[in-house]
Amino acid sequence: MKPVENEPYEDERTALTKEAFKRAFLDNLFYVQGKFPALATQNDYYQALACAVRDRLLQRWISTAAAYTKQGSRTVAYFSAEFLMGPHLGNNLINLGIYAQVREAIAELGLDFDTLLRQEEEPGLGNGGLGRLAACFIDSLATLEIPSLGYGIRYEFGIFHQEIVDGWQMERTDKWLRFGNPWEILRPEWAVEVRLGGHTEQYRDEHERLRIRWVPGKVVVGVPYDTPILGYRNNTANTLRLWKAEAPESFDFSTFNRGDYGGAVRQKVWSETLSKVLYPNDEQIQGKTLRLEQQYFFVSASLQDMMRIMRVQKLPLERFHEKFAVQLNDTHPAIAVAELMRLLVDEHVLPWEQAWDITCKTFSYTNHTLLPEALECWPLELFKSVLPRHLDIIYEINARFLDEVRIRFYGDESRLVRLSLIDENGERYVRMAHLACVGSHTINGVAELHSELLKHDVLKDFYEMWPHKFSNKTNGVTPRRWMALSNPRLTNLLGDAIGDAWIKNLDELIELEPLADDAAFRQRWREIKHANKVEFAAFVKERNGIAIDPQSLFDVQVKRIHEYKRQHLNILHVIALYHRLRSDPNADIQPRTFIFGGKAAPAYHLAKLIIKLINSVADVVNRDPAVNDRLKVVFLPNFNVTNGQRVYPAAELSEQISTAGKEASGTGNMKFSMNGALTIGTMDGANIEIRQEVGAENFFLFGLTAEQVAQTKARGYRPLDHMTPELQEVISLINSGFFSRGDTELFRALTDGLLWHDPYLVFADFESYSECQLQVSKAYRDVDRWTRMSILNTARSGKFSSDRTIREYGADIWRAPSVPVRLLSQQDVKVGFMQ
């Protein structure tokens, strides 16, 4: 039997029926795990289940590869140092459309499906929003059937595991590969060499041409590990290709024979450090050699891999930019601009001008930050020691670029200094954002305000040079993981009410709008939120040992801990409420549970102190009978994708309280809103657009605007001018040692910092925030009003699907048409093979 176009063809091995699945599961338990029920662990069962799913992925992967090869399709290469994927199993089942029947099949085999799901160690190969955005993007690329490759690093240790000990953050190594990873396939045949260090020399080749040879100090091998990325209910499976670093020779026999065993393995050990661990800094650079080596390693391996693909498809390198559109996810992969030039000019002997034309037509750059400390700059000497040839290339790019600037802006010397790829003020640095801007044909920010601030502030000079390069692409998140998978109750209700087309076309949620006025629907909406809260409360009880009341308002702030995100503003307000209750036991306060979660960079002392303060306040407040269960504070350890999936569905209030002008976009804010939480937030990042979509009346706005923040600072901000009696009480309570067993010094760094500097204007916004929180409480007491607002938040969140974002990138930047895939059967493949 031949498959019909676009109709799933049921192979014996990969059929989607329940019975076929059970058979596959048992087969894999025996023949892959080598176990039978009496000996099998839960992990064996998980692996067997994962392999059964993987067979179905591979069928789609092969079909996809066949379609792309046949069509020679234009391909998006998404270069990112981080992919914060989260667990694959559940997501793949959702995208295959077999979640429910697999759950049943597993239950019929007498096993607990949720226990098996929990076995998966999440691949935490990212710090926060930037890495998670990359993960949402590749989900949407596959769903939209756009040929694409995600390129990154297969860190052996991802983001650290956070534990809270005595209120402090402790970091533990993330050993995610400990029990094996069934989702990846090793491709040793496509390994490539990457050079580092050494020096360059000139020579004449056999045609008497003057050329440059790079004599490296060391060489590592990049080995690709491929993970199939499924589209939602289509036949597309794109590839996430992550590079592991290995030694060219893992064991040096000549050294060994001299009796030096340690020396013989040293090269291997050194090589493998390159992909050993993810740098745990979010929004902050650390000028470490290893970090630059990591960046160059994955970028070089990826560009070489793309050139291999061109060879296989018999495409000339002159058409590199026609075959590939490369998106640079922040400046981490910006060295790609110089590396592509090196490959084209040095190795493939293209003329500089032609190579430059190809390069500029290949790359586009997304900026993700407005914080100066996050703009990557490399000390020149360090850069030279790692990438001597690239430094020369960058000088040449710079010289030609500055010539252009000289002509455009006649006599404007200071502009040259500002635009140069090399920062010459004091110690010299290579400015990676400048390299990315010069070598890309488009530059974008990740929310409207952010893109405007880039144009008029951070990248102003580049905007004046090339206004046409700039655009905005507001972030989005995938509704598959962040709604369908993590909020099954809501998904069912939506299914009953409006069908499930929204999963692929989130704008359809607008159909819910009229139901906000339907009392019966509101009742069901509340029941679902309540059930999610009960489930979450049980989780908190298990993890933290704290009993929280599902009737209370669940007020949540989960994200990396950073001063600009202002978790301290939130906890100061909690202390203020506590103080009100203690001062007046009859104070009429809406019962609330404040939930915090997030990791601090291990060397970011103030962020760690904020975690300690939250936990210290929690200890006191949660034990104090005087607040009579009206306040609870929870710090949820180890916030990651898995825990995010638990918390968003249960949240009622989403805290998005960054200093205006600092949060480029935010994406957690979108996950909350689409799951029916209301936002309390500043006019910052995508909050502005969320408010615009859901309506100002369904959003709690407070605080200074970005413009007011700038003016306040320009006038010479003095935090003490904003001191109120209540804020005074709050600070005194902390400094009195009340939350620190009498230690009056513990939190000084934090309180003194606020009193005398307060760089993120916590004091300036405190009153407005407290006032706004009163409005929140008032709204919450009007149950119908709150439910209506909640429904409208979900109904109007269509814009925040990453499918919309990817469509915009596709139309304005990549111009890569979709290529639908027909599912091949084993039979099809075998027939081709025999011919």
Told to judge if 175 belongs to the known catalytic residues of this protein, a careful annotator would answer no
The DSSP bridge partners found for residue 597 are 558, 636
Which range binds ligand NBG by CB under 6 A, 580-588, 595-603, 660-668, 722-730?
660-668
- The one catalytic residue in 60, 132, 332, 368 is 368
What's the min distance (Å) between Cβ of 475 and ligand NBG?
Answer: 5
Query: Which one of 94, 102, 133, 503 is in contact with ligand NBG (CB under 6 A)?
Result: 133
> For ligand NBG, which is the closer residue by CB, 475 or 570?
475
Rounded to 5, what percent of the chain is helix, strand, coil?
55, 15, 30
Which residue has the closest beta carbon to ligand NBG?
129
Q: Which ranges of 444-553 would DSSP assign to H, the alpha helix? A: 448-453, 460-465, 479, 488-498, 519-544
Q: Site residues for ligand NBG, window 177-216 (CB under 6 A)?
A: none
> For ligand NBG, which is the closer residue by CB, 682 or 790?
682
> In angstroms, rounded to a whole number, what is the distance separating the alpha carbons of residues 509 and 374?
36
The dihedral built from the CA positions of residue 340, 342, 343 and 348, taken in this order, carries a sign that is: positive
Told to judge if 276 belongs to the known catalytic residues of this protein, a careful annotator would answer no
> For ligand NBG, which is the closer residue by CB, 228 or 685?
685
* DSSP assignments along 425-474, one per residue: SSS-EEEHHHHHHHTEEEEEESSHHHHHHIIIIITHHHHHH-GGGEEE--
> For ligand NBG, which is the closer residue by CB, 448 or 729?
448
> For ligand NBG, which is the closer residue by CB, 120 or 693?
693
> In angstroms, rounded to a whole number, what is the distance separating the alpha carbons of residues 393 and 588?
67
Q: What's the token pair of residue 148?
A: 């694409």
CA of 177: how far to CAs of 58, 180, 495, 521, in Å? 21, 5, 37, 45
- The one catalytic residue in 54, 88, 565, 599 is 565
Query: Which one of 156, 252, 283, 293 is in contact with ligand NBG (CB under 6 A)?
Result: 283
Residue 433 interacts with ligand NBG (CB under 6 A): yes or no: no
Which amino acid would we find at residue 698? N
CA of 258: how far to CAs of 248, 249, 265, in Å? 20, 17, 13
What's the min distance (Å) between Cβ of 150 and ligand NBG?
Answer: 15
> For ligand NBG, which is the closer residue by CB, 164 or 556?
556
Told to judge if 368 belongs to the known catalytic residues of this protein, a careful annotator would answer yes
Residue 640 interacts with ligand NBG (CB under 6 A): yes or no: no
Contacts of 364 (CB under 8 A, 6+ apart): 325, 326, 327, 328, 440, 441, 442, 443, 444, 813, 814
Query: Which one of 666, 681, 703, 798 is in contact with ligand NBG (CB under 6 A)?
Result: 666
Residue 140 interacts with ligand NBG (CB under 6 A): yes or no: no
Which range binds ligand NBG by CB under 6 A, 515-523, 664-672, 737-745, 807-815?
664-672
- The one catalytic residue in 559, 608, 691, 788 is 559
Residues 328 and 361 sit within 8 Å (Cβ to Cβ):
no
Neighbours of 731 (CB within 10 A): 20
Q: By rule CB under 6 A, what count of residues binds ligand NBG?
A: 18
Buried b (16+ CB within 10 A) or exposed e, 804-825: bbbbbbbeebbebebbebbbbb
Residue 129 interacts with ligand NBG (CB under 6 A): yes or no: yes
Torsions phi, psi for 819 (to 5 deg):
-130, 100
Residues 440 and 630 sit within 8 Å (Cβ to Cβ):
no
> In angstroms, rounded to a whole number, what is the distance separating the alpha carbons of residues 701 and 711?
20
Query: Which one of 98, 237, 299, 374 is in contact with ligand NBG (CB under 6 A)?
Result: 374
> In angstroms, rounded to a whole number, what is the distance separating the alpha carbons of residues 498 and 274?
50
**Contact letters for ligand NBG, residues 306-345 (x by CB under 6 A):** ------------------------x---------------
Query: Which one of 120, 252, 282, 555 is in contact with ligand NBG (CB under 6 A)?
Result: 282
Instruction: Say how many CA atoms lie within 13 Å of 296 toward its Cβ.
Output: 27
Which range binds ligand NBG by CB under 6 A, 112-120, 347-355, 590-598, 657-665?
657-665
> In angstroms, rounded to a whole number, what is the distance separating the alpha carbons of residues 349 and 590?
71
Residues 366 and 129 sit within 8 Å (Cβ to Cβ):
no
> For ligand NBG, which is the closer residue by CB, 131 or 222?
131
**Contact letters for ligand NBG, residues 343-362 (x by CB under 6 A):** --------------------
What's the min distance (Å) between Cβ of 559 and ligand NBG?
Answer: 9
> In angstroms, rounded to a whole number, what is the distance separating the alpha carbons of residues 521 and 266?
66
Residue 665 interacts with ligand NBG (CB under 6 A): yes or no: yes
Told to judge if 473 belongs to the known catalytic residues of this protein, a careful annotator would answer no
Q: Site residues for ligand NBG, window 755-774 (CB under 6 A)?
A: none
> For ligand NBG, which is the closer residue by CB, 139 or 828?
139
Instruction: Say how many CA atoms lie within 13 Å of 260 toward its Cβ.
Output: 9
Q: If phi over 0 gives left and psi between -120 and 50 gives alpha, with beta otherwise, what is residue 666?
A: left
**Contact letters for ligand NBG, residues 466-505 (x by CB under 6 A):** ---------x------------------------------
Residues 615 and 139 sit within 8 Å (Cβ to Cβ):
no
Residue 667 interacts with ligand NBG (CB under 6 A): yes or no: yes
Residue 663 interacts with ligand NBG (CB under 6 A): yes or no: yes
What's the min distance (Å) between Cβ of 345 and ligand NBG?
Answer: 31
Residues 298 and 151 sit within 8 Å (Cβ to Cβ):
yes
Residue 664 interacts with ligand NBG (CB under 6 A): yes or no: yes
Residues 593 and 647 sit within 8 Å (Cβ to Cβ):
no
> In angstroms, rounded to a whole number, what is the distance separating the alpha carbons of residues 832 and 835?
5
> For ligand NBG, which is the closer residue by CB, 593 or 640?
640
DSSP 421: S
Total number of residues shown for the chain: 835
Query: Which one of 368, 473, 573, 799 is in contact with ligand NBG (CB under 6 A)?
Result: 368
Which range binds ligand NBG by CB under 6 A, 127-135, 377-385, 412-420, 822-830?
127-135
Residue 8 interacts with ligand NBG (CB under 6 A): yes or no: no
Query: Which one of 182, 685, 753, 798 is in contact with ligand NBG (CB under 6 A)?
Result: 685
Query: Which one of 446, 670, 816, 824 is in contact with ligand NBG (CB under 6 A)?
Result: 446
Query: Which one of 51, 130, 422, 653 is in contact with ligand NBG (CB under 6 A)?
Result: 130
Residue 679 interacts with ligand NBG (CB under 6 A): yes or no: no
* DSSP assignments along 68-81, one per residue: HHHHT--EEEEE-S
Residue 656 interacts with ligand NBG (CB under 6 A): yes or no: no
Angle at 105 between CA 102 and CA 111, to 5 degrees: 105
Residue 689 interacts with ligand NBG (CB under 6 A): yes or no: no
Active site residues: 368, 559-560, 565, 667, 671
Q: Which residues bind ligand NBG (CB under 6 A)?
A: 128-130, 133, 282-283, 330, 368-369, 374, 446, 475, 663-667, 685
